[in-house]
Amino acid sequence: MLAVMLRCEAEIGELLRQIVDIESVSGHEQALADQVFQALAVHPHLRLARFGNVVVARTDFGRPERVVVAGHLDTVPVMGNLPSRLTEVDGATFLVGRGTVDMKAGVAVQLNLAATLTDASRDLTWIFYDNEEVEAVKNGLGHLALARPDLMRADLAILMEPSGAQVEAGCQGTLRVVVRTHGVAAHSARAWLGHNAIHDMAGALAVLAAHSAQEVLVDGLPYREGLNAVGISGGVAGNVVPDACELSVNYRFAPDKTVAQAEQLVRQVFAGYDLVVEDAAPAAAPGLGSPIVASFVQAVGRPVRPKYGWTDVARFAELGIPALNFGPGEPDLAHTVGERVRLDQVRDCRDLLARWLTAPAG
């Protein structure tokens, strides 16, 4: 099969369709990564690097500021929603198919601008990475942050996650802990010989049920927190007093806290319980006080929202780089069978980003 090479300079809807139709479910990004690399390699204003299925393209215009624009190549599994198709709704054209929203529309904008912005008021680093939709340990951007943090350095990072073409600033942190109770097994007909570990979980559930989530203002944005049981299990058989019960709790915390502070808070909530941290990821501050962020927000000209949910912006925040979510596509449609993006909005994002990247800096 002779692969069609991506045409980055094509009309953005056409480019998006090409990208969407190269299936790239997590773990199978190679074909698309190859195409991205080849399509960018022909442009002399870009210096390319590749690490597995991570592609980095950098300009060297000699500008005082640098902006990273990053997006992931992978999608969640296809559910009969490929190849893509166009549809019209109320006079607007939509591209329907897996990945249109999350986040190949963003990747199309990246590719088009990477190829066409042969000059800009800021130096640019375009990052395309793999395995965002699976376990954090596989995340390509995470691997890059460990192996080559120098390639991620910038004054601002824009992550093209779907945000309906609005700026979603920062992100919540997330901490998952397991609370365990330990009992003594016995036949339930002689329960007094045992100790019921499920009963011992009563206090932990009472604390959760009574907990009211905080809303924390950071840079004027309201980050709503949440402390939720996300799993519970215990029990051996219908006639056995259980000797163990496990409660899994997820704390989504505002960017005013570090992971350590979040853990301390959860330990206070479950004081007296056996508690183990299963995984954690830091929050990212919106960083609206930074002049370059303010400049971008002003250029977008729409209200800034806090990001609910953890995204890879936190990886930049950890490196001290202000980072925003900004991309085409309605986040509510991500991962759905009917995933679809309005082509108007993709163009809008592209134009907005192009305008800001070429406008005088500072």
- Answer yes or no whether residue 37 interacts with its own copies by CB under 8 A: no
Residues 172-211 that bind its own copies (CB under 8 A): 172, 174, 176, 187-192, 196, 198-203, 205-206, 208-209
d(CA 362, CA 358): 12
CA–CA separation, 127 vs 48, rounded Å?
A: 10
* Contact stretch for its own copies (CB under 8 A) within 117-125, 242-250, 281-289, 293-301: 242-250
Please check whether residue 109 is in contact with residue 350, taking contact to mean a CB–CB distance below 8 angstroms. Answer: yes
Question: Contacts by 35-44 with C-beta closer than 8 Å and gap 24+?
Answer: 35/3, 35/5, 35/6, 36/6, 36/73, 36/107, 36/111, 36/128, 38/5, 38/6, 39/5, 39/6, 39/7, 39/8, 39/111, 39/115, 40/8, 40/111, 40/114, 40/115, 40/126, 43/114, 43/115, 43/118
DSSP-derived secondary structure letter, 192: G
Of 118, 233, 261, 264, the residue at the interface with its own copies (CB under 8 A) is 233
- Closest distance to its own copies from the beta carbon of 43 (Å): 38
Query: Closest Cα partner for 217 from 255, 265, 160?
Result: 255
Distance separating alpha carbons of residues 221 and 303, to the nearest angstrom: 10
Residue 61 touching its own copies (CB under 8 A): no
Q: At closest approach, how far in Å is the CB of 222 from its own copies?
A: 12
Q: Is-contact 56 127, C-beta < 8 A?
A: yes
Q: Does residue number 308 form part of the binding site for its own copies (CB under 8 A)?
A: yes
Closer residue to its own copies (CB): 31 or 240: 240
74 is catalytic: yes
Query: Nearest to residue 328, comparing CAs of 20, 55, 6, 9?
Result: 20
The least distance separating its own copies from the CB of residue 341, rounded to whole angstroms, comes to 20
Nearest to its own copies of 189, 271 (CB atom):
189
CB of 270 to its own copies, least distance (A): 14
Nearer to its own copies, 18 or 181 (CB): 181
| Tally of residues, the chain | 362
The encoded tokens of residue 341 equal 């993006």
- The catalytically annotated residue of 132, 133, 161, 243 is 132
What is the distance between the alpha carbons of residues 207 and 94, in angstroms, rounded to a whole number? 46
Q: Is 161 a catalytic residue?
A: no
Q: What mask of x and - would describe binding to its own copies in positions 272 to 291, judged by CB under 8 A?
A: ------xx------------
Segment lying near its own copies (by CB under 8 A), choices 19-27, 37-45, 222-230, 281-289: 222-230
The contact mask relative to its own copies for 154-173 (x = CB under 8 A, - = no) is ------------------x-
Active site (catalytic) residues: 74, 132
Binding residues for its own copies, rule: CB under 8 A, are 172, 174, 176, 187-192, 196, 198-203, 205-206, 208-209, 213, 224, 226, 228-242, 245, 247-248, 250, 252, 278-279, 308-310
